[in-house]
Amino acid sequence: MSVANANLLNALTLMGMSVWGFYSSLGHAKTALIPLVFGVVLLVLTNSIRDHNKTVAHIAVAVTLIALIALIAKPLPAAIDDGGLKLLRVGAMTLTGIISMIFFVRSFIAARKAKR
pLDDT digits (tens, 9 = 90+) for 33-84: 999 999 999 999 999 999 999 999 999 999 999 999 999 998 989 889 988 8
Range of the domain at 71: 3-115
Closest CA to 98 of 45, 56, 47, 61: 61
Report if pTM > 0.75: yes
Q: How far is CA 39 from each of CA 27, 70, 110, rounded to the nearest angstrom?
A: 23, 13, 26
Question: Number of folded domains in the chain?
Answer: 1
